[in-house]
Chain A
């Protein structure tokens, strides 16, 4: 049941049609098997890169697709409806490209960006540490200035694509720039002393590799610094607003596929002499699921349209992330309920969707953190009136 979308241009409609063609033929048939085998689909990312789907929100001058965020996010949602791990990977890749795009020097943008946004190179975003997830300012991994660059050491945690990525947008403490200073670096796995740990064994999204990255006195050339010295935390937090919109769209896509599965099942399965969808008690469950999916979609579109218009959108991005991932958790849980015993088995994807939804309430800022962000914005915006 394709989602009927309001798209701004004919080219956006063509883009969504292309995405559906590729996702139906190349993502959907692989998803269950790769998730079961915990296998990372590098070849799928290569295909998406060739199709031009790994750089959609970046400017055409940088080799990107020049698409507004509201269109890019709907592409992500379409991908997520077939395979959430891949859509998450596209979101993370996009996040990884953005610091070089926004803060890179002309030379960095010219040399690195085309391969990155063209999708020939896969990106990872390395901010968290084992003890510094919600509070990135508490990070310990650091880079010390040397005569010809930096020496990086420490361990970064929860790195999506860790061990598979071609570049890692990495945030490190730079004590030479001040006690609290954090800077952003473009690291590549060919650097001496750079290694990925054994991937985490996760509850869901098992085709998306997550691993810690060890930096063992890694010599980092001077030109790998992205943005100014000590500017890293601002770069990281700014990128996260966009990243949260990506997660919101991924969560909506996942929730949409759980809803579609539940509706299809409810229209086929019979009990007490009629289809279960014709029992009001069950139809109300489906109605609430549909309401959750459609309202969640509206939150990310509102935030994205503000972003595209150049308006402040951090509060709306946090609301979209909070609402969409809570909706995905609820809708996927209800999908298991609608399918009953069948939903609890691995013969149907409902239980997988439910496992995949859970982490979306956790990563890219837990939903408790989103509430803190929203609360701070409310207090700040009310302050002038109160004062």
Chain B
């Protein structure tokens, strides 16, 4: 079983994040760049499947040279090897362009199952599994809260607001995971040491046969025109209790459609 995990490096969602005002792309310099939190669950799920069925887990990432830190984290958790697509021309690519790069990379790899987090905490576009499924001509199952592989079939409980759908798809397939699917392991100290010796293959756009002019900020299908920080919290609503406080309180909740 060959499992490929798509991993993205993002600024830590627990810290102050911003866009770079020079071109309105994600500001990476000075940010605490980490593995997209939800991707850690996809890595854990890949390792769990591998431990049960055997096979190999390959990490695939598209990102600047500094994204090797995210790759090392995945390798130190137990992934076997990695492919890092890095090319200055990729900077500022939109989701559709990025999916073309990932699809080209995947076509050069062997895979039975592609796993990734259901969304990234920076872009939050959450369409990559669908775009890749379309480009690769394979089924996608999004938002997994449970996953099992039986023979050449992947069975997934797809998380919904009210419960889950039980779905299955033939392999190869792409599945995105939520943070309800497992509890990602910590790397061990030995895992960190071993990760330094695991192979990381670097690929450029030329290696993938992609014309650099078709990707990047200049030809992106969507672009950020303007951005602003989150507005400061408002004053809130004060209710003076003149014997009818409870009623006013409930009326307020009702007006906000909370009750």
A binds B: yes
0/1 string, B185-202, CB within 8 A of A gives 1:
111111111000000000
Chain A residues whose CB sits within 8 angstroms of the CB of B190 once the complex forms:
52, 65
Give the dominant DSSP class at A's interface: helix
Cross-chain contact B186 with A47 (CB below 8 angstroms): yes
Task: Give how many A residues have a beta carbon under 8 Å from the other chain's beta carbons.
Answer: 13
Instruction: Judge if A21 is at the interface, Cβ distance under 8 Å.
Output: yes
- What is the distance, in angstroms, from B244's C-beta to the closest C-beta of chain A? 35
Instruction: Judge if A53 is at the interface, Cβ distance under 8 Å.
Output: yes
Q: Which of B50-99 contact A (CB under 8 A)?
A: none
Chain B interface residue bracket vs A: under 10
Q: Which of A50-73 contact B (CB under 8 A)?
A: 50-53, 56, 65
Cα distance, A238 to B42, chains bound together (Å): 48
Cα distance, A26 to B117, chains bound together (Å): 23
| Interchain CB contact (< 8 A) of A11 among B187, B188, B193 | B193
- A15's nearest neighbour on chain B, judged by CB, is B189
- A66's nearest neighbour on chain B, judged by CB, is B193
0/1 string, B216-248, CB within 8 A of A gives 1:
000000000000000000000000000000000
Chain A residues whose CB sits within 8 angstroms of the CB of B193 once the complex forms:
11
Cα distance, A51 to B193, chains bound together (Å): 12
- A22's nearest neighbour on chain B, judged by CB, is B186
Cross-chain contact A50 with B192 (CB below 8 angstroms): no
Cα distance, A11 to B190, chains bound together (Å): 10
Chain B residues whose CB sits within 8 angstroms of the CB of A47 once the complex forms:
186
Cα distance, A14 to B191, chains bound together (Å): 11
Chain B residues whose CB sits within 8 angstroms of the CB of A52 once the complex forms:
188-191
Cα distance, A18 to B195, chains bound together (Å): 14
- B195's nearest neighbour on chain A, judged by CB, is A14
0/1 string, A3-16, CB within 8 A of B gives 1:
00000000100110
Cα distance, A18 to B185, chains bound together (Å): 12
| A–B complex contacts, Cβ < 8 Å, 22 sampled | A11-B192, A11-B193, A14-B192, A15-B189, A18-B186, A18-B187, A21-B186, A22-B186, A47-B186, A50-B185, A50-B186, A50-B188, A51-B186, A51-B187, A51-B189, A52-B188, A52-B189, A52-B190, A53-B189, A56-B189, A65-B189, A65-B190
The 3 closest A-B pairs by CB, nearest first: A52-B189, A52-B188, A14-B192
